[in-house]
Chains A and B, each alone.
Chain A
Amino acid sequence: GENVEQHPSTLSVQEGDSAVIKCTYSDSASNYFPWYKQELGKRPQLIIDIRSNVGEKKDQRIAVTLNKTAKHFSLHITETQPEDSAVYFCAAPTSGTYKYIFGTGTRLKVLA
């Protein structure tokens, strides 16, 4: 069945440093890879996504890279700021179904 593994579960970085979160997926038919951010007490919200026909996508300080051969994709946050502190989730919806399975989340702390 579908499986999405996310690492690390917690990550602390100094303000201004970069943060990288990695997810691996099991279904080779997956073709859409989103990242969601959830601030404390709030709902998850999409921050960036990538389709399988590209290897990288950037949006200001965040980027997602995809390695379809290895079945993993990563979130990169550069020049981290305190407001980046949150829980980040990856997902890998299974192509052909509408199941939308999330990773277990990464709690990012940006230390001032």
Chain B
Amino acid sequence: RKEVEQDPGPFNVPEGATVAFNCTYSNSASQSFFWYRQDCRKEPKLLMSVYSSGNEDGRFTAQLNRASQYISLLIRDSKLSDSATYLCVVKVPGTYKYIFGTGTRLKVLA
């Protein structure tokens, strides 16, 4: 099992739709999780940190399911500008290292 695994997509959704992605992780001791957004050929930008059961920021909600070892990202009322690749990142417990997933590509269609 990969340390961090994401469905590469693409997820093609119409504007205004709600879309969710999952990210599974292999280390059950992991405590710190992050979602980054990366536009094509540009730098990743932090979207959200998740340290407990979940986090919410406007249209974006992240939820952590420790029993099944996955985190999800829910985007409500999708905008064209949400089109990007979403990277799941898990901190390796007891270290200063972060494992990046390969990303899930989202396309929001007009």
A binds B: no
